[in-house]
Amino acid sequence: MLASASWTEFIPTGLGTILLLVAGSTMSARRSRLYPRWFDKLLAGLPVNKVPPEARREVLQYPLWAMITSLTMWLIAAVTFGLLLSGSGRAFVGIFMVGGFFTSIAVYFAVELIWRNVIPVYYPDGGVRGVNVFRVPILQRLLAIFFLVSVYPLGMVVLLSLDRARKIILSDDPAFYMRNMLISEIFIFFVTALVTLILALLVTRSIVDPLADLQEAMQRVKANDLDVSIPTKSNDEFGYVTEHFNDMAAGLRRGELLRNLLNVYVSPEVARQAVEHGTQLGGQLVECTVLFSDLRSFTSLSETLPPDDLIALLNRYMEAMVSVIVSRGGVVNKFGGDSLLAVFGTPLNPSEEHASSAVRAAFGMRDALVEFNRRQKDVKGPQLQCGIAVATGKVVAGNVGGRERIEYTVIGDTVNLAARLQAMSKELRSDIILNAEAYTRAKAEMNLEAQGVPNVHVRGKVESVTIYVV
């Protein structure tokens, strides 16, 4: 009889345990029905667009579903072992209202923290905010934590105190209920303290970690490292901020690309002028030095070379010449096929020694051409010759054009003179020609020897000029 009674007592316990196992297994299988089978495939390189949307949604819902599963199992345990076995409402409250609530909230934050490494696998490019799933905002999480670690324990203590006070008044042994109340309050205190510590660590990590990622990424952007992207690890406000930060970084990269392209098609100085001062038409009269260079016999050369080879040859030549000009503080203002126009001492590149800088650039270009032809000879390529003219004087520098398209350039007699003198370089059998002003200014700033040629008639000018050949 005793054996039979003992066996009967184990039946509810066994049924409750089986029910817990079945409920846990069923809900666990439900919350991870699709996504696990795709995880290893994604890590192996499977494109994310091959993953069903339902599997990706499961990943975002997993922390919340884990909390619901935990809460459900605690409820089953409270009903089975609290109400059915012990027949005590207090046992039900102790199991579900204390253990269930505290544990389930901790499960949510723990799983959410772990899941931050899983979400980027299914959402490598972000986009979690556009997925139609239930999300728990940060404010609601913090309010739940505040309620759970402050209002909720205080409420339990108040209810416990009221219940024990009523029994103390009605009991013949009030000391027993006093001790019971004291033990219960100590238990609530330690449980609350432990849960508060655990939740504080989890919640702190859930907030501090995304902020640390953002801070590190912003430091990289501040250091002009625009190749930065933060993995989207949640579908809350931090996920939203992360995605918008990535959009901002992508916009900065596009802007940097456009700026680099702009610097290729126009000089960096011109690009900076446009950004800082706008594109208003007009100019200002300044004194500067103009360098004009042109390849000799380029027309004949273009007749003998295929177009691709001709462009490649011209690009190599221009690269060598532009490098010298820029190193001397010049700005290449314009390319004209095989010719180039560079300026020194304009508002784009102000310098008191613009004449000597231009002359040094001319010497450097001549030396660079010698080295260029040496390399051409090694590959049996055509040899190049160029004429260079340097002229110092007044020019108008500014934006010229129309509303649809403008160009920063220099115009005036000095520019025309440089072009005409360059055209005369072959006739005068000189690689470099200076006008009188350029020679005088450069001579005062550097060691310069040149042969003066007076009374030179230049096409387009009424009066003859004095030039210097180097």
How many residues are recorded in the chain?
470
**Among the listed residues 452, 446, 448, the one whose alpha carbon sits nearest the alpha carbon of residue 468:** 452
Task: Kindly report, residue by residue over 168-221, the tens digit of the pLDDT.
Answer: 887 777 888 788 788 878 887 888 888 888 888 888 888 888 899 999 999 999
DSSP one-letter string for 354-367: HHHHHHHHHHHHHH
Could you tell me the pLDDT band of residue 5, with boundaries at 50, 70 and 90? very low
Residues 250, 256, 257, 262, CA torsion sign: positive
Q: Which pTM does this prediction carry?
A: 0.62
Percentages (nearest 5) of helix, strand, coil residues in the chain: 65, 15, 20
Give the whole-angstrom CA distance, residue 216 versus residue 234.
Answer: 18
Q: Are 295 and 339 spatial neighbours (Cβ–Cβ below 8 Å)?
A: yes
- The confidence score (pLDDT) of residue 426 equals 86
HSE at residue 319, side-chain half, CA atoms within 13 A, is: 8
Could you tell me the pLDDT band of residue 407, with boundaries at 50, 70 and 90? confident
% the chain with pLDDT above 90: 26
Q: Where does residue 435 fall: left (phi above 0), alpha (psi -120 to 50 degrees), or beta otherwise?
A: beta
- The confidence score (pLDDT) of residue 4 equals 46
**Among the listed residues 409, 390, 389, the one whose alpha carbon sits nearest the alpha carbon of residue 401:** 409
Task: Report the run of H or E that residue 284 belongs to, with start and end.
Answer: strand 282-295
Task: Kindly report, residue by residue over 146-163, the tens digit of the pLDDT.
Answer: 887 788 788 877 877 887
Q: How many CB atoms lie within 10 A of CB 455?
A: 9
DSSP one-letter string for 295-327: ETTHHHHHHHS-HHHHHHHHHHHHHHHHHHHHH
Least confident of 3-12, 20-29, 130-139, 212-221: 3-12
- The confidence score (pLDDT) of residue 322 equals 93
Give the whole-angstrom CA distance, residue 148 versus residue 90.
Answer: 19
Could you tell me the pLDDT band of residue 422, with boundaries at 50, 70 and 90? very high
Give the whole-angstrom CA distance, residue 247 versus residue 229.
Answer: 9
- The confidence score (pLDDT) of residue 1 equals 41
- The confidence score (pLDDT) of residue 30 equals 62
Dig out the tokens for 337 from the structure. Answer: 């096929």
Domain ranges of the chain: 2-253, 280-469
Give the whole-angstrom CA distance, residue 273 versus residue 159.
Answer: 74
3 state DSSP class of 215: helix
Q: Which residues contact 120 (CB under 8 A, 6 or more apart)?
A: 231, 232, 233
Could you tell me the pLDDT band of residue 373, with boundaries at 50, 70 and 90? very high
More confident residue, 51 or 270: 51
The single-letter DSSP state of residue 120 is: H
- The confidence score (pLDDT) of residue 81 equals 76
Q: How many CB atoms lie within 10 A of CB 110?
A: 19
Could you tell me the pLDDT band of residue 415, with boundaries at 50, 70 and 90? very high
- The confidence score (pLDDT) of residue 372 equals 95
CATH 3.30.70.1230 fits 280-469, yes or no: yes
